[in-house]
Amino acid sequence: MNTALDVERIRKDFPVLSRELPGGRPLVYLDSGNSSQKPTQVIETIREHLAMHYSNVGRAMHVLGSESTEAYENARDKIAAFVGAPSRDEVIFTKNASEALNLVAYAFGNPINEDPRFRLGPGDEIVISEMEHHSNIVPWQLLVQRTGATLKWFGVTDEGRLDLTDGVITERTKIVSVAHQSNVLGTVNPVAEVVRRAREVGALVMLDASQAVPHHPVNVAALGVDFVAFTGHKMVGPSGIGVLWGRRELLDAMPPFLGGGEMIEAVWMDHSTYAPVPHKFEAGTPPIVEAIGLGAAVDYLTGIGMDAIEAHERELTAYALQALKDVPTLRVIGPETLDERGGTVSFTLEGIHPHDVGQILDDEFGVAVRVGHHCARPLHLRFGIPATTRASFYLYNTTGEIDALVRGLHHVQKVFG
């Protein structure tokens, strides 16, 4: 299989990458782990739908309503195929991955849910990890506060790997929710081993795949998990749209997350019955154009090929890890080899705050990186640092842009003596 990307052709699809910053500096965008840029194909799909086809979905009997509904549901089909979902009805549209994670957390310990798999109380356990994004920490903390259950977590090794040696999963574990790929470390976690341990005690498994689905092939059925959350804006799609995939039997057993129009079957003054999934979880007017834009993003990524995107990012990551070794006092936080790692590299420079690093890179070199704790403060506390500088790569990045980053870092060190 030929996995080489024509990166220069791809870059022409992204209007912003041709932008010239003040002072004539070219834009070097190394922040796709935060949010990716958008190709013309996605932008034009959104524009065309808003201009010529827009209407609310699932209600109107006129032409525009039919066209909008068809486009919205076609997007669901595309996403189901993209992640290997056994059924389109297992794909729930949310506004982002955070909402998808909260939706599942809401189902546990809910008094109207009588399914024993979701019963949660004192003595029961929820397992996450120390490398999670806040979106996969806070919903479970809130659940613990509501139910009296116990929150536990896997630690992280000095090399930035999940520490699976301490028996965190026990017979009291009800759900394990971990990142497929860390948004700070780049680590790709051993999902199969986590699933094996969870199944031994009858626990459910959820993946935050926000950093995985955009960057390498993901097949939810093959992973053997129960729920997967991801978001559109990191995969060349628009913001305001996310996805929850869940096994149909579990989604059927879960109570609605929000009440309103569209998610109902029938309403009386004293009670209601609910629509089947996926609509049971899509109350009110959904993010119509955003979902259609995400469908266009899936078309774009599929046309290029996820295998090719993954291979390109591995080449970039290998190049970056080697190039960064030439920067004195730079410390990579996370794996320093390509083994089970993605295209996100976080680092510190001795004696220089990441905010200063990011400011100089942007002001003087046009290099856009992320600085801070990247919504993963517990992970930074684990490594004894307040923040990191993060460079994250995608299908449109080049080795020349990594060279620009390295030149900028050398300059930062000169500025700070």
Where in the sequence numbering do the catalytic residues fall?
375
Cβ contact 183:374 at 8 Å: yes
**Interstrand relation of 125-129 and 173-179 (parallel, antiparallel or unpaired):** parallel
Q: DSSP class of residue 26? A: E
Structure tokens at 65: 């309503």
CA distances from residue 128 to 59, 173, 184, 363 in whole angstroms, order as listed: 40, 11, 16, 38
Sole residue written with tokens 């070794």: 325
- Sort 62 into a burial class: Cβ within 10 Å, 0-12 / 13-18 / 19+: exposed
Give the Å distances, CA to CA, from 261 to 191, 241, 287. 37, 19, 14
Neighbours of 219 (CB within 10 A): 11
Torsion of CA 409, 411, 413, 415, to 10 degrees: -140
Count Cβ atoms below 10 Å from residue 9 Cβ, excluding itself.
Answer: 9
What are residue 19's phi and psi, to 5 degrees?
Answer: -70, 140
Cα-atom radius of gyration of the chain, to the nearest Å? 22
Helix residue ranges per DSSP H, 324-416: 354-365, 377-382, 399-415
Whole-angstrom Cα distance, residue 144 to residue 391?
34
Burial status of residue 341 (CB atoms within 10 A of its CB: 0-12, 13-18, 19 or more): buried
